[in-house]
Amino acid sequence: MKITDLLNKKGINLNGKPGTKQEAIDQMADLMDKTGNLTNKEEYKKAVEAREEEGTTGIGDGIAIPHGRSKAVKKPGLAAMVVKEGTEYDAMDGQPVNLFFEIAVPEDSANEHLEMLSRLSMMLMDGDFRKNLINAKDVEEFLNIVDAKERERFGEEELAQEDKNLNPVEKAVMDVNEKEMNLRQESAEQDLPYLLGVTACPTGIAHTYMAAEALENAAADKGFKMKVETNGSGGTKNLLTPAEIANAKGIIVAADKKVDTARFNGKPVIQVPVKDGISRPDELIDTVLSGNAPIFHAAGGESGGESFEQESESIGRTIYKNLMNGVSNMLPFVIGGGILIAIAFLLDDYSIDPSNYGSNTPVAAFFKAVGDAAFGFMLPVLAGYIALSIADRPGFMPGFIGGYIAKEGIIYTDGTVQASTIGVSGFLGALVAGFLCGYLVLGLEKLFDRLPDSLQGTKPTLLYPVFGLLLTGLCMIFIINPPVAWLNTALSNGLASLGGGSKILLGAILGGMMAIDMGGPFNKAAYVFGTAMLADGQFDIMAAVMIGGMCPPIGIALASTFFPNRFTQSERQAGITNYIMGLCFITEGAIPFAASDPARVIPSCVAGSAVAGALSMAFGSTLRAPHGGIFVFPVVGNPLMYCVALVVGSLVTMGCLALLKKPIQEKSKRASNAVA
C-alpha cells in the first residue's frame, strides 16, 4: 500500500503551531479526524497517548511518527503536519520536532502500521527529503515529494503491483510478503549487524572502547557481525539506527553510567557493568544467541511494568550509575578549567603581587578568568546531570540550580537569605542536590499524573520547572546547605591540618585504591574524592590520586621489558602499549594482566601505587587538573620530585612482579591464556 494512497489532503497541515507535545497530539488527531478514517476521535487519541507512554515516537532528526491502533479507526490512514519553527515532543535526541506523520490502524487489522512505519522511517532517513517536505509550498507539492521519494526508494515495479484491483485478502497477503521482502532487502543493502552493543564508562576514555573491542572481537570469532555504540568522552560514536535495532537478535549494554535504553523497548537486552564487557564478552554473546536474554520493557510500558534496568540492578548500582553520570559530564569542566588555571600560574610573575598570583599579567589573567569560568560550572553540572539521570530532562534544571546553591553556600540565617558564613556545602552539597532534585521531580511526576488530560501538556513546560525549582530552593537553603556546609568546612580544615605523616598515609591509601580495581568502585571513589578536593583547594590530593593511577600500567610495562621470562610473548607485546597508557593516566591498561593473574598482579600494582602516592604527598607535589598524565606535568607543583615519585612507584610494581611471578617455561608459553 503506497504512502500517498493513505495520505488525504484534508489530513495535511503545512503550518502547524503546537506549543507542547499534548497540543501536537491534539492537532494531529484533529487532522486524522478530517480524513474520515475515524469513528471516534477521542478514543483514537487515547490509543496514540497510550503508545506515547510506552516510549516517545519522536525518533530524532526533527521527526515524530505517532501512531495508534484502535477500534475507532475505520481504515488505515495517514495524517501529516509541518511545524516550521519546531516544537517540543520529548524526542530521543532532545531536539524540537518539525515533521509529524501520524498513523491510524484498525484494531482488528494486520500489522499494517509496522509496514507504514518501516517505509516512512527508511524514507525519512534522507535529510534532503525532510527538508523538501518542510519547505513544500502547498499540499499538492508535499504529496508529489512523497510520491517521488517512494518511487525512488522502492521502485516503479513494486509500487505498480499495488495499483492492481486486488480484493482485501489478496492485498493483505501481498502486504505481508512485501514487508518480509523489504526487511530482507534492507538488511542486505545496509549490511545490518546481527548483534548490537552499547558501552559507556564514567570517564569515557578507556573502558568504553576496550569493552567495545572485546565484544566485537568475540562476536567475530563466533561468525557474527556486531556493531557497538560507544558513549565516550568525545561523544557518542557508531550510533545505532532504528533499522539496526529492529533487525538485531539482541543488544548488550555494558555501561557504568546511564545510556538511552528506551529505544530498545521489546528487544532482548542484557545490561551489565562495563568491566563485564571486557572480561566476559563470550558469555554475554552466548546468552543473547541462546535466546535467554530478557525482553526489555521501557519504564511505563504495558508489558512487565518495570524496566529491565529496575528489575536487574541493585539500589547501590543504580545510585552509582546516577553518580557517575554526573561525574562524567562534570569532568570536561574540571579538566579544561583546571589546566587553564594551572597554565595561568605557570605564566604569571609571583613577585608583582603575591596576593593576586595567577592574574598579575594580562596573559595569565586571561587563562585564569577562562579557567575560573569553567570551574564555576563544575558543581551545577554535576548536580544537574545526576538529577537528569534519575528523572530525565525534567530533573536537569532543578538539579543544576541546586548545584549552584551548593556552590554559593546560600542559606537562611538571621532572618535573611544570604551566603553562609561557615563556608559552602561545595562538592558534598552538589551531590546531595543532584539526588535530592532527581527524586523530588520523580515524586512530582507521580503527583501530577492525577491531573486531568487537559492539563497534561503543562507538566513539562510549567509544573515541573516551577514546582521543581521551588522545592529545590526550599530544601537546599533551609535544610541541606547549613549542615553540609559545616561538614564540608570541617573536612577541608581537617585535611589542611594534617601533618606530614598523616598526609603521607592519606597519599598511600588513595594511591593504593587507584590500583585495587583499576577503574572499578575503589578506583572511582579515590578519583571522585580527588576531584572534589580540587574545588576546595586541596591540590596535593589530586596529585597523589593521578600518580597512583599511572603506576600500574607503567610498572607492568617495565616488568615485561626487563623480566620477559615472566610473561608470554603476547603479554610482552601488550606490555609495550602499557608505557603509553600509563603515561596518559589510563590505569585500565593493566586490567588484562590483572584478569589473567590477579593474585600476583593486583598486590604488585597496589604496592607501587601506594608508594608513589605517599611520595607525592611527602614531596608536596600539587595538581590542579584531574587528568592528562605526563602532558600536565609542566603545571604540577614540584614536578621534578613528582617524576621521581612516579619512577619509584613504577619500579616497586616491577620489582614485586619480578618476585611474585615465576619464570614461564618455553614449552608452556602457548598454553598460557594471556591477553593480547
Quick one: 3-188 is in which CATH superfamily? Mannitol-specific EII; Chain A (3.40.930.10)
Give mean pLDDT, residues 635-653: 94
Task: For residue range 609-624, list pLDDT tens digits in order.
Answer: 999 999 999 999 998 8
Cα 356 from Cα 590, distance rounded (Å): 42
Active site residue 201: yes
| Contacting residues for 593 by C-beta, under 8 A, at least 6 apart | 556, 571, 574, 601, 674, 675
Cα 464 from Cα 391, distance rounded (Å): 11
Q: Is the pLDDT of residue 14 over 70?
A: yes
**Domain spans of the chain, in order of start:** 3-188, 191-304, 316-496, 500-668
| Contacting residues for 432 by C-beta, under 8 A, at least 6 apart | 406, 425, 480, 484
Q: Which residues are 250's β-sheet partners?
A: 195
Task: For residue range 352-382, list pLDDT tens digits in order.
Answer: 887 787 889 999 999 989 988 988 898 899 9
Task: For residue range 41-86, list pLDDT tens digits in order.
Answer: 999 999 999 888 877 888 778 888 898 888 899 888 899 999 998 9
Kindly name the residue from 113, 201, 475, 551 that is annotated as catalytic: 201
Give mean pLDDT, residues 628-653: 91
Task: For residue range 166-186, list pLDDT tens digits in order.
Answer: 444 344 434 444 443 444 444
Task: For residue range 79-130, list pLDDT tens digits in order.
Answer: 999 999 899 998 877 788 999 999 888 887 655 555 666 667 778 877 888 8
As a whole number of Å, the end-to-end CA separation of the chain is 53
Q: What is the 3-state secondary structure (H, E, C) of 434-465?
A: HHHHHHHHHHHHHHHCCCCHHHCCHHHHHHHH
Task: For residue range 508-557, list pLDDT tens digits in order.
Answer: 999 999 998 776 667 777 887 888 787 777 889 999 999 999 999 999 99
E runs forming strands in 286-434? 410-413, 416-419
Q: Is the pLDDT of residue 335 over 50?
A: yes
Inter-residue contact 587 to 523 (CB < 8 Å): yes
Domain 191-304 top-level CATH class? alpha beta
Name the band, by pLDDT with cuts 50, 70 and 90, for residue 234.
low
Q: What is the Cα gyration radius of the chain?
A: 29
Cα 111-116-118 angle, rounded to 5 deg: 95
Q: Whose grid coordinates read 580544615? A: 493
In terms of pLDDT, which residue wins out, 640 or 206? 640
Kindly name the residue from 67, 113, 207, 627 that is annotated as catalytic: 67
Calculate what percentage of the chain has a pLDDT beyond 70. 84
Active site residue 627: no
